[in-house]
Amino acid sequence: MSKPVVVLAMVPLLTADLFDQVLSARLDKLCDVPDGEPLTAFEDTRANHLLARAEILLTSWGCPRIDTRVLDRAPQLRAIVHAAGTVKGHVTDACWERGLFVSSAAAANAVPVAEYTLAAILFANKRIFALRRRYAEARSFRWWPGEFPGLGNYRKVIGIIGASHVGRRVSELLRPFDFDVQVYDPFFDDAGARALGVRRTELDELLRTSDIVSLHAPAVPETYHLLDRRRLALLRAGATLINTARGWLVDGEALTDELISGRIDAVIDTTEPEILPADSPLYDLPNVFLTPHVAGAMGTETQRMAALALDEIERFTHGKPFRYGIGRADLARLA
């Protein structure tokens, strides 16, 4: 069986992290890779030469948009395999109109996001962020449960917004703990909730009753500012909001007002804009733990996405459907 011609399209800086020696060897064994230097644009002479031969585009972050003009120069292209999460930035309607098969490694990217979220939940309920600051100030013994009423993880209510790859993975990771886990997702039914071992609930009820609320919904028109000023006000005093999804989901001004008041806490990995202005109070508020969009796959974690992508290419070369295939209709509810 001949090996498919695979062309890489991504930020070149990524390839060293994505493909270590073992994965690089597997890529070469599975595929004919005419040029190991990934494309960053589709308009130059080198791109024209590679696109003319490409049967599979192996993409990741930084891949240019694949529109009709690109496809016209890739007559043999049959599939796009994305070694990262969302495909919305580069896969266009033209790809499905052409009949291409599309796959994403979002399931692999979900793993480190869920791990980050689990750590955030455990630390937030234990009030670790506030305790660290208070201990540095006091530098002496205190009766910490007295200073932080409700401290601890036992029997806390965790609210998951979005039964996505990440939301489901977080729910699975929470199973060993003594938590009451409830999930809101308009596409989630009672059977799905039972299979996951969680309770299905409505959004406002989840916000009113959860000690921790963690966001895992996609950034689609229907979720823009899903947590607006009214809904943020439903959070119980002392609750913690965790956002590892997108800043798009939260009214940033309303959230900032709530956090300045000190009524709630937050662990925030994604904001809108992606990098906050230098004078944003979120950098300095004592009840905010702010990180620079690092929950998703980084460094060695990206190799999990590369391994999944190679699994998909292997399935494709053996005539099997993608395990993580994406259709045009899926975009309405995917990140």
State how far Cα 148 lies from the chain centre.
32
For the chain, the straight-line distance linking the first and the last C-alpha, in angstroms and rounded, comes to: 36
The CATH number of the domain covering residues in 110-290: 3.40.50.720
DSSP 133-191: HHHHHH-S---HHHHSTT-S-TT-EEEEE--SHHHHHHHHHTTTSS-EEEEE-TT--HH
Exactly one of 293, 301, 314, 333 is catalytic; name it.
293
Rounded to whole angstroms, how far apart are CA atoms 210 and 227? Answer: 14
**pLDDT on residue 2:** 83
115 is catalytic: no
The 10s digit of each residue's pLDDT in 38-73 is: 999 999 999 999 999 999 999 999 999 999 999 999
Give me the tens of pLDDT residue by residue for the chain, a chain 335 residues long: 689 999 999 999 888 889 999 999 999 999 999 999 999 999 999 999 999 999 999 999 999 999 999 999 999 999 999 999 999 999 999 999 999 999 999 999 999 999 999 999 999 999 999 999 999 999 999 999 999 999 999 999 999 999 999 999 999 999 999 999 999 999 999 999 999 999 999 999 999 999 999 999 999 999 999 999 999 999 999 999 999 999 999 999 999 999 999 999 999 999 999 999 999 999 999 999 999 999 999 999 999 999 999 999 999 999 999 999 999 888 777 77
Q: Which CATH number fits domain 6-104+299-333: 3.40.50.720, 3.20.20.20, 1.10.150.20, 3.40.50.300?
A: 3.40.50.720
Residue closest to 85 by CA, chosen among 319, 310, 308, 321: 308
246, 258, 304, 312: which is the annotated catalytic residue? 246
Count of alpha carbons within 13 Å of 16, Cβ hemisphere only?
2
CA dihedral 33, 38, 41, 45 (to 10 degrees): -50
Angle among Cα 155, 110, 9 to the nearest 5 degrees reads: 170
57/177 Cα distance (integer angstroms): 42
User: What does each C-alpha distance from 32 to 3, 50, 261, 317 come to in angstroms?
Assistant: 6, 12, 59, 12
Q: Which of 37, 274, 323, 328 is catalytic?
A: 274
Domain boundaries, given as residue ranges, for the chain: 6-104+299-333, 110-290
Taken as a whole, the chain contains a residue count of 335
Please indicate whether the domains covering 6-104+299-333 and 110-290 agree at the CATH topology level.
yes
Could you tell me how far CA 6 lies from the centroid of its own chain? 26
Q: Is residue 185 a contact partner of residue 217, using CB atoms and an 8 Å limit?
A: yes
Is 293 one of the catalytic residues?
yes
